[in-house]
Amino acid sequence: MTVFIQASYFAAAVLFILGLKAMASPVTARRGIQWGGIGMVLATLVTFATPGMQNVGLMLVAIVLGGGLAAYLGRVVRMTDMPQMVAIYNGMGGGAAAAIAALEFARGHVHGTTATILAVLGALIGSVAFSGSCVAFAKLQGLMKKAFRLPAQNAVNLALALAVLGLAIRIVAGGFPLGSDLIVFFVLSLVLGVVLTTPIGGADMPVVISLLNAFTGLAVGFEGYVLGNPALVIAGIVVGASGTLLTQLMAKAMNRPIANVIFTPISGAAQGGAAVSGTMKEASAMDAAAMMRFAQKVIIVPGYGMAVAGAQHKVWEMARLLQEAGVEVKFAIHPVAGRMPGHMNVLLAEAGVPYEMIFDLEEINEEFATADVALVIGANDVVNPAARTDKSSPIYGMPILNVDQAQNVIVNKRGKGAGYSGIENALFYGENTRLLYGSAQQAIADVIADIKTLQG
C-alpha cells in the first residue's frame, strides 16, 4: 500500500508540473488547468488510503463545503473581481499551511531540528501570506480605500520581524514550544503580514499578489516535509519557485526592486513627480470613430478601466469592424496591466480575441511610432511617459508602452482623476492626445455605432 501511495503522489506531482508548463501558453492553458485538477483529485483520493488516517468524516465535510463554495464562486464571480478572488484563495492556502504547523506543534508530532525549522518557517510564511492576502483582498474589493502607512513604518516592520525571528529561534532551540510562545508567535506573524501590506498602493498590487502566492507555495512545501507528504512538498516548491520567478519578472517590468515594493511602496498619498503642464483635450465618439476608421494601423491598449466596465466584448466587436474596413488592429499588453498577472490577457481571451493579435511590451513597443492611432482603454501608469523623462516621478525608469509616440492617441477614461495609483499622467496632456470620457462599455458602444455610420 505504501508503494502505491508514494507512486500516486509522484504521478500527481508530475501532473502538477506538466499542468504548470502547459499554462505558460494561452493555447494550452485550458489543458494545463485540467491536468493540474486531475493531479489534485488524485492526491486527495490517495490521502484517504493512508494507513492510520483519522477524522475522515470531518475531511469529507470540509471537501464538500470547500469544493461546493469554490464551484459556486467560480461561476458567479465576475472576471473583474478575479484578482481579489485569487488573492483570498491564495491567503487560504497560506492560512492552511500555518494551521497545519500549529496543529502539529500542539500534538507534539514535530521531531528533529530540520522538521522544527521547516515547521516554524512554514508557520511564519503561511501566516504572513494569509493576513497579507486578506489585506490585498480588502484593497482590491474596495473595502480598504487607502494605503495606510505608520509613522516610522520600516522601523515597525523591522521590530516585528525581529520579534517573530526571536520567538522562532526560541521555539527551534526549545524543541517543543510552550503554548504561550506559539500563540504570541502566530499573532505577531499575522500582524507582520498586515503591517507589511497595508502601505502598498494599487500600482504595486500585482507584484504583491504574486509575491504572496510564492510565500504560500513555500509554506505548503515546508509543511509537506513536516507531514512526510511528497505531493505537498513538490506542489508547494513548484508554486513557490514559479511565483518567485513571476514576481521578479514583474518587478523588473516596473523597474522596481522587490524590496522597494515592500519598503517604499507607491501610494496615492505621496505622488511625487514634476507638475504636468498643458490641458486635456476632449474627443467625441464620432471623432474617435473617424480617426480609427480611416487609419491604416490601430493599436489598442487595454487597462483596468476596461475590466471594470466589462467592455472586452465591445472592444473586440469594434476591432472586428475596423478589420473589415481594412485597418490593421493589434492589442498591446503591459506585464503589470490590471490588478493581477495576466489580467488583460484573460479578459481578451474571454472575449475571443485571437492570440496572434495580442502582443507583449517587448514585441510591440517599436510599432507605436508607425501607428496612426493608439487607443488606451482605462490604462494609466503603464502608458505614462513620465516614466522615461521625469526623474522625480515614483515610476521613473519603469518600462512603459510607447503610446505617446503614435500619431494620434485616444484615451478612454471615466473622469479627470489621476487614476488608481494617484500619479498624474503626462500622456493625457499631450498635443496628440484626445480624451474620450465615459465608462468603457458605453464609450466603445458609441464608437461602434459611429463606425457603422461611417461605413454606410
pLDDT in tens, 90-117: 899 999 999 988 888 888 777 778 888 8
Helix (H) or strand (E) segment spanning residue 193: helix 179-197
Most confident of the following: 80-84, 199-203, 434-438? 434-438
User: What confidence tier does 4 reach under pLDDT thresholds 50, 70, 90?
Assistant: confident
**Helix (H), strand (E) at residue 409:** strand 408-413
Task: Band the pLDDT of 270: cuts 50, 70, 90.
Answer: very low
Residue-wise pLDDT tens digits, 406-416: 999 999 988 76
What 8-state DSSP symbol labels residue 282? B
Alpha helices by DSSP H, 48-112: 56-76, 82-107
Q: What confidence score (pLDDT) does residue 286 get?
A: 94
Distances (CA, A) of 196 to 44, 342, 383: 34, 24, 28
Residue 245 makes CB contacts below 8 A (sequence gap 6+) with none
Q: What is the mean pLDDT of the chain?
A: 85
pLDDT of residue 416: 64
pLDDT band at residue 202 under the 50/70/90 scheme: low
Separation between Cα atoms, residue 21 and residue 32, nearest integer Å: 7
Out of 1.10.150.120, 3.40.50.1220, 1.10.10.370, 3.30.460.30, the CATH code matching 285-455 is 3.40.50.1220
Give me the catalytic one of 181, 204, 381, 390.
Answer: 381
> Looking at residue 157, what is its pLDDT?
85
Element holding 206 (H helix, E strand): helix 205-227
C-beta atoms surrounding 217 within 10 Å: 26
Give 214-248 pLDDT, tens digit per residue.
889 999 999 888 888 888 888 888 888 888 888 88
Tell me how far apart the alpha carbons of residues 322 and 450 are, in angstroms, rounded to a whole number: 12
pLDDT digits (tens, 9 = 90+) for 354-412: 988 999 888 999 999 999 999 999 888 889 888 888 777 777 788 889 999 999 999 99
User: What is the largest distance, in Å, between two alpha-carbon atoms of the chain?
Assistant: 82
Q: What is the pLDDT of residues 148-190, one digit of tens each?
A: 777 877 888 889 989 999 988 888 887 666 677 888 999 999 9
Catalytic status, residue 381: yes
CA distances from 443 to 80, 301, 334, 386 (A): 18, 15, 22, 27
* pLDDT, position 259: 74
Q: Is 58 a residue whose pLDDT tops 80?
A: yes
Cell numbers at 33, concatenated: 488547468
DSSP for 347-403 reads: HHHHHT--GGGEEEHHHHGGGGGG-SEEEEES--GGG-THHHH-TTSTTTT-----G
Residue-range domain boundaries for the chain? 77-263, 285-455
pTM above 0.85, yes or no: no
